[in-house]
Structure 1
Amino acid sequence: MEENEAIRPGPGPDPGPGAESKRRRRPICYYGDDFTGSTDVLEALFRSGLKSVLFLEPPTEEQLAGPFADAEAFGVAGVGRSMSPDEMERELRPIFETLKRSGAAIVHYKICSTFDSSPGTGSIGKAAEIGRDIFGGRYVPLLAGVPYLGRYTLFGHHFAAAGEAVYRLDRHPTMSRHPVTPMAESDLRLHLSGQTKLRTALMDILALDGAVEDVRARLEARLKAESPDIVLFDAFDEERLRTAGRLILEEAERSDALFVVGSSGVEYALGACWREDGGPGGPAALAADAKNGGVQAGNRERQAVGSVDRLLVVSGSCSPVTEKQIAQALDAGFVGIRVPAHELIRPDSAEAARLRLLEEAKSRLLAGRSVVLYSASGPGDPSIAELRRALEGQGMRAEDSSRVLGAELGSLTRTLAAETELKRVLIAGGDTSGYVTRELGIYALECVSALAPGAPLCRAFSNDSAFDGLELVLKGGQVGGDRFFEKVRRGE
């Protein structure tokens, strides 16, 4: 199988009697607490050489044993980051139970690499409590840093890049002023203490230094002395990230299914160990994969996928990174069309606004132009305050904006993609990505190229033939360079 070949569903060969007992255990499965974060993990697994698939709903046993039987890892895209603790209890518990039954060695609750969460929204502590209750184990590993993405944890404090600079999380120009979950504390242990009573110990950068056997001894000493429920691992560089991955893999060997909380740094840490070991199952599994035509585990380079004549960009993000990307795209010839969000949420103006948007965007796309539909040009856009006033007028909260606006943007994208026969679409904003993909009837995604860190190009599986095979890039607000939209159009 070529590295950029699709994992298309098919009947597959008859495995024969006794094959189930001989089937190699999947090394990992995961639940992503937002959509773009879920594709971030898909990219990390892709770069590690694992054939992986991301589902929009928990997969059935028939899917995993049949059409996607060749997937070595899988994920479920969720919206846990926008939920209250009560909503998380109802949503996550049955999903975690399903993931536990899948038989994967590690079950990963994937969080944003900027750790944005609060006691009332997207509580990482609540997710850890549910996972600890279901999976048990000696402790829950917690790993937030991803050096590849410019995210670092040092002595328990978290840092994130913004442009060329790296900021402590509580001083980060975007995350410290996040509209829903502003990060006022960089010490992740203190931040977590406001969300859960679970005890957290720290394996800091010094504890992770040196030979693995020495690091292992330090971890065991901490477990004995502190009896923690959670162990937070620093992540400053690739060497110590790999060491953390080694400890997580060793802990997984102790249990039927190890529950882990963290960013895609978890997959990058494990991937470094898998490459060192010759694959997720070790050298023997690697040899078996090669014999069966599988992909050798290893860091994949970005695959060139070719350009498209038109690209539709749908942005529900108001980050300064996306602001620069929109401006650069317009300079490069994209047509910018502002989405009048405040009109779309009002019953008396919604239909007219919707038809006006569709007519303008459709005419531009049919004329061969690339289009950017955006609800805000950046964090200072007056439309943000205007939308909040409109929400209040409808008796809704500011937090409802993602749900209401996301559904509208999803419906617009569905109509435009079908009626203009688009081949590639870029969605900016985690919540927006989730709503748009559901409107397209997409039930699974696979990574086909790692265009930029945290924003892979994916191919869609949809029950609607108009969208089956559609190429999607789903990016978070902080992801990508200034000229990212044009790079996506060119597929470079």
Structure 2
Amino acid sequence: MGIRLGCIADDFTGATDLANNLVRAGMRAVQLIDVPAEGADGRQPVDADAVVIALKSRTVPAAEAVEASLRALAWLRDAGAEQIYFKYCSTFDSTPAGNIGPVSEALMEALGTGFTIATPAFPDNGRTVFKGHLFVGDVLLADSGMRNHPLTPMTDSNLVSVLDAQTEGEVGLIDHTVVAAGAEAIRARVDELRREGVGIAVADAVSNDDLVRLGAAVRGLPLVTAGSGLAIGLPRNWGFEPSRAAARLPPAGGHAAVVSGSVSVATNRQVQQFLSGGRPAFAVDPLRVAAGEDVVGEALEFAGTRLGDGPVLVYSTEAPDAVRTVQGRLGAAEAGELVERTLAAVARGLVERGVRRLVVAGGETSGAVVRELGVNVLRIGPQIDPGVPWCAAALADGDTLHLALKSGNFGGPGFFTAAFDLPATEAP
């Protein structure tokens, strides 16, 4: 059986989030870090039902995001993927000049299709869409902590409006009354929207049942665009059912550590709970790094004497006001890149010191870490929290590294310790 579903994710944690839901629904999933290189090595068969190519394209200029996504599409089509899934964040991280619309339209053109849907809904993580508006928990997106995101501040909750600002074609809505009526009603609405010239339709979803109905309705679409939630409903289109075997990984071992670069509200809570428990943690000060101080060496020296006592945390996570202060001194882009490089170097040093179970918080940080470690392929394992699975990667020395790449917005307050209580080799 070849690749059934080919997925393009606009960041690294989002890719594992998507793959996690596919595995939970019974598909064996592999995550590739960027598009494989040309040549024999880049065209080797992949033993999986679904392949997710993780890009770092969420916050780059739109033209770069389009180019990378089209390269990923070409690889997936060449590998035999029957349907393409463009995955973005469940909080639709994308300004009016963002990438979701341009990438969606470029993929549609390349696939020769005039229609697709868009729904970032993921009810398991409190992301729902109603009347085209995205909610985070009980509040509208624009009233959530995402309005303070340092790179993609979200100030408009109306996804039809957000997409309309990014696209050349018409944007429509499949509202909840239609979704609740089932797959046949959804397909009828799609036909109606296509006759009206709509190219992309935002689809409401407030429950997993809605996502299952949407999944059945889009079975024949060459392209779907969504957060990770829609993956709950797609695998059954090929006859897959939930299976523990799909999430099985090689055994885990070695020391445990957490590297956190996210500044989200959820990650700030996780850092604070870790600190409140008196556990070992080292704070990275970007201003000290910028001044040329050996912060990486200090962090590794701190961690090195504590790795045998349980997870060690190295973090640059701060509250919004502190982040703005650093950005004001260094510039937003420069501060972000500085932190990413520093934490990636720390992660490499931790692995060299025997860490084999590593949690990384933040999409940009995760991208920097996996590249620094030379990780190209991740096998997706059991879920830790909604949207965050353990993954396995082969190191150059033959050891297995277990990684959890956590979106900044995901996970409960105790995630940084609870992750290591779940054996990464077993499905819960």
The TM-score, its normalising length taken from structure 1, stands at 0.80
Which of the numbers 181, 187, 191 marks the counterpart of 1:216?
Answer: 187
Larger Rg: 1
Tell me the distance in 2 between the aligned counterparts of 1:491 and 1:304: 13
What residue number does 2:311 align with?
370
Aligned-partner residue type, residue 317 of structure 2: A
The equivalent residue for 1:184 is: 155
Please state if 1:418 is matched with 2:382: no
Tell me the distance in 2 between the aligned counterparts of 1:212 and 1:412.
48
Counterpart of 1:399 (choices 319, 333, 348) is 333
| Partner in structure 1 of residue 136 of structure 2 | 160
Q: Given residue 249 of structure 1, which amino acid in structure 2 is its aligned partner?
A: R
User: Distance in 2 between the 1:235 and 1:411 partners?
Assistant: 40
Describe the superposition over 1:340-374 as per-residue Cα deviations: whole angstroms up to 9, x where unpaired.
Answer: 2122234xx24x33322222222222x53531111
CA distance in 2, matches of 1:89, 1:306: 38
Q: Which amino acid aligns with 1:404?
A: L
What is the DSSP-based 3-state SS (H/G/I as helix, E as strand, rest coil) of the residue aligned with 1:81?
coil
1:388 aligns with 2:327: yes
Give 1:304 shift: 11
- 8 Å CA contact retained: 1:447, 1:458: yes
Q: 1:417 offset after TM fit, Å?
A: 1.4
Residue segments in structure 2 that go unaligned for 5+ positions in a row: 424-428
1:445 maps to 378
Task: Measure how far apart 1:178 and its partner are.
Answer: 1.5
Mark the runs of 5 or more structure 1 residues left unpaired by the alignment.
Answer: 1-23, 252-257, 275-279, 283-295, 392-396
Indicate yes or no: 2:275 matched with 1:330.
yes
Where 1:197 maps in the other structure, the secondary structure is coil
- CA deviation profile, 1:190-241 (whole Å, cap 9, x unmatched): 01122122211211111223253343223212222x1111122111122222
For residue 299 of structure 1, report the CA deviation from its aligned partner: 5.7
Structure 2 counterpart of 1:286? none
| Structure 1 residue 418: Cα displacement | 0.9
Asked if the contact 2:280/2:312 (under 8 Å) is kept, the reply is: yes
Question: Cα deviations across residues 44-85 of structure 1 (Å, max 9, x unaligned)?
Answer: 1110111110011223685687563x2111111111111111
What is the Cα deviation at residue 413 of structure 1? Answer: 1.0
Deviation at 1:185, TM superposition (A): 1.1
Q: Which letter does structure 1 place at the counterpart of 2:277?
A: A
Q: Structure 1 residues 335-344 or 59-68, which shifts more?
A: 59-68
Between the aligned partners of 1:99 and 1:79, the Cα distance in structure 2 is: 17
CA distance in 2, matches of 1:305, 1:320: 33
Counterpart residue identity of residue 363, structure 1: T
Q: In 2, distance between residues paired with 1:370 and 1:209? A: 45
How big is the shift at 1:268? Answer: 1.3
Partners of 2:157 and 2:185 lie apart in 1 by: 28
**Where does residue 469 of structure 1 map in the other structure?**
400
Counterpart of 1:139, as a letter, is F
Q: 1:74 aligns with which of 22, 26, 51?
A: 51
- The equivalent position to 2:213 in structure 1, one of 243, 248, 252, is 243
> Structure 2 vs 1, CA of residues 417 and 114 (structure 1 numbering), >3 Å: closer, same or farther?
same
CA deviation map 1:151-171 (0-9, x unaligned): 11111111112xxxx211111
Q: In the alignment, which residue of structure 1 is the partner of 2:418? A: 487
> Is the CA contact 2:35–2:72 (under 8 Å) kept in the aligned structure 1?
yes
Alpha-carbon deviations, 1:301-360, whole Å to 9, x = none? 9889998674211110112211221122223342011112122234xx24x333222222
- 2:287 corresponds, among 305, 326, 342, to 342
**Structure 1 106/126 Cα, relative in aligned 2: closer, same or farther at 3 Å?**
same
Equivalent residue, structure 2, for 1:15:
none
- What's the TM-score, normalizing by structure 2? 0.91
Shift of 1:103: 2.1
Whether the aligned pair in 2 keeps the contact of 1:42 and 1:446 (CA below 8 Å) is: no
Q: Does 1:143 align with 2:119?
A: yes
Aligned match of 1:171 in 132, 143, 147? 143
1:266 maps onto 2:266 in alignment: no
Matched, 1:353 2:353: no
1:87 to 64, 67, 76: 64
For the aligned residue pairs, the C-alpha RMSD in angstroms reads 2.4
Count of residue pairs the alignment pairs up: 421
User: Which residue pairs with 2:177 in the alignment?
Assistant: 206
Decide whether the 8 Å contact of 1:406 with 1:431 is kept in 2.
yes
Q: What is the DSSP-based 3-state SS (H/G/I as helix, E as strand, rest coil) of the residue aligned with 1:71?
A: coil
Q: Work out whether 1:195 is the aligned partner of 2:166.
A: yes
Q: Indicate how the Cα distance of structure 1 residues 319 and 215 shifts in structure 2: closer, same or farther if over 3 A, else same.
A: closer
